Structures are given as C-alpha cells and as structure tokens.
Amino acid sequence: MGRLRGVAARRSATIGLPCPIVRSVDYGRDILSGSRRKKVPEVPAEPGVVVEDPASGFCGAVLRVEKDNVVLEDRHGKQRLFPMRPAAFLFEGKPATLVPARTSAPAAPARSASGSVKVEGLRARTARGSRIWVEGIHDAELVERIWGHDLRVEGVVVEPLHGVDDLPGLLAEFGPEPGRRVGVLVDHLVAGSKESRLVKGITDEHVMITGHPYVDIWEAVKPAAVGIGEWPTVPRGQDWKQGVCSRLGWGEPAEGWRRVLAGASGFRDVETPLLTAVEQLIDFVTAEG
C-alpha cells in the first residue's frame, strides 16, 4: 500500500492535484465473482469440432476423446493430446469447455408384425418344398398379415384348403417327405369336434397338425382390436360369420372381414393359441431334414 501511495503522490505532484488515498476496500468483492462472471459455454467434443488451445496456439479438429483428454488434429495432420479442463479452449474465438459428447443409445431393431426382428431390404427367399396349409382364404390372409415377413424370410408358402374334409387325400397327393413337409392349421381343433375327428388318424412324421379352439379364425382376433367388448355367441346350425355380422351390425361377411383384418395389425391383436399354433408350424416346416 505504501508503494501505491508513493506512485499516486508523484503523479499528483506532476499534475498539481491532491493525491487520493486508494484503499482495497473500495473495490468491494472480487469483480470476477458472483453473477457478474460470464459462464463459459460447454461444447460437446464431437469428431470434427474445431477448437484452439490458446496456451500453445494449436488449432485442430476433435479426433477422439480419451478419458479426460481430447486428441486434436490440425490441417497438416499433426495430432496433439490436451486435457479437457474448464475454459481450456477457444471455440469460434471464445473461451469454451470441451465435454464428452453424449452417445445416444443404439436404436432398437425394427420388428415385424409377428414381433420378430425385421430384415431390412428383404428379398423373398426361393420357396421351400414344404408348405403350410390353412382352412380358408381368411385364415391365409390373417397369417400373411401377422407372419408375412417371417414367411418370406424363410421361403414358406401358405395355401388355403377350404376345409379339412379331404385332408388325408390331399396329403397323399402331395407326398410329404424330408425337405417337403406339411404343416396344417385347423380351426376349432378341440376334443370332440368334427375337425379333431378328421385329423385323428394322420400320423405321418413329415406332417404337423396344430390348431386353435375358435369356431372361426375371426374369433382368434382379440375383440378389443376390432372395437367390440366380446365376440357374440352364435347358435349351432347358424352360419357363424353371418350371425356375428348380424348381431354387430356389420352388414355382409365381406364387410365384417375387412373390419377384422384391419384390426389385426400385429401379434398383440391375436389370441395366444393362434400365435402358438402358427409359430410351431413355421418351426416345423423350416427345420432341416
């Protein structure tokens, strides 16, 4: 303080003014502290971001981050390692703090309607010799709707039978054998049903028969998926599709089926027994041997 007073006195003497007494208390708190201090922005150290180390004058693009250090590369290809300290760099001419760039979580793989991993840019595989047979056009369309992607990946063809009344004869004509298997999806496959009696005697090792308990494939679609509380009960002897449409005010069965198919957008929209049955058939017809 004495040295400051001496300098001030000499300056006053030179210009003929009294010498003010300068006290440190006049400055108050640190002028760089508190709210007046500008916050140094943080810049993610993403590859390609150009910064400068003011201490050395080295200017380069971020190459990579190694723990708490960053590797910069200048335009001549020279690389240098710098610690990532607060306010240690200049970004666009202004002080900045380099921070590790946030790495986003890897995107979940796309899924097909059946829930399997979707194969992008799929080109359908050449059809196998094996087949999956279903009871009708609606069955085939619903299976395609849910499992179409998987079937094309595996090269499996689905064919409608229009009933299982002549299944033994159709199998004899097809001639199942290794590499030429047949999987059959049967509606209303429950103990005591006509369908269960028709398929009871089929024991060929190259044939698998599975099914679901519903009278018709429509009923394998969850009611909520088609905007109803439950599927109506249709008395025996009455056409089931026509009876359902009449009770729901859906018009003709063709219109009703459009509603049902539109509601089945994925595996969550169909009942578990159908999911299990179809998955078993796909595994069977695509197995080696």
What is the location of CATH 2.30.30.60 in the chain? 42-100
Are 267 and 222 contacting, i.e. CB atoms less than 8 angstroms apart? no
Please report the pLDDT score of residue 148 as a whole number. 94
Residues 149-201 pLDDT 10s: 999 989 999 999 988 898 999 999 999 999 999 999 999 999 999 999 999 98
The three-state DSSP-derived secondary structure of 257-287 is HHHHHHHCCCHHHECHHHHHHHHHHHHHHHC
Say yes or no to pLDDT of 46 above 60: yes
CA–CA distance, 181 with 152 (Å, rounded to integer) = 17
Residues 55-71 pLDDT 10s: 998 988 999 999 889 99
Going by pLDDT thresholds of 50, 70 and 90, the confidence category of residue 124 is low
DSSP 8-class letter at 106: P
Going by pLDDT thresholds of 50, 70 and 90, the confidence category of residue 27 is very low
Element (H, E) at 52: strand 50-53
CA–CA distance, 279 with 113 (Å, rounded to integer) = 13
Q: To the nearest whole number, what is the mean pLDDT of the chain? A: 85
DSSP three-state, residue 195: helix
Q: Model-level pTM greater than 0.85?
A: no
Instruction: Give one DSSP letter per residue of 213-265, joined into a string.
Output: S-SSGGGGB-GGGGT-SSPPP--TTS-HHHHHHHHHT--SHHHHHHHHHHH--
Please report the pLDDT score of residue 289 as a whole number. 58
Are 245 and 252 contacting, i.e. CB atoms less than 8 angstroms apart? yes
Amino acid code (one letter) for 93: G
Please report the pLDDT score of residue 30 as a whole number. 52
Task: Say yes or no: domain 42-100 is CATH 3.30.1490.440.
Answer: no
Residues 199-257 pLDDT 10s: 998 999 999 999 999 999 999 999 999 999 999 999 988 999 999 999 999 999 999 99
* Token digits of residue 183: 């999987």
Please report the pLDDT score of residue 85 as a whole number. 94
Report the DSSP beta bridge partners of residue 71. Answer: 64, 81
Amino acid code (one letter) for 14: T
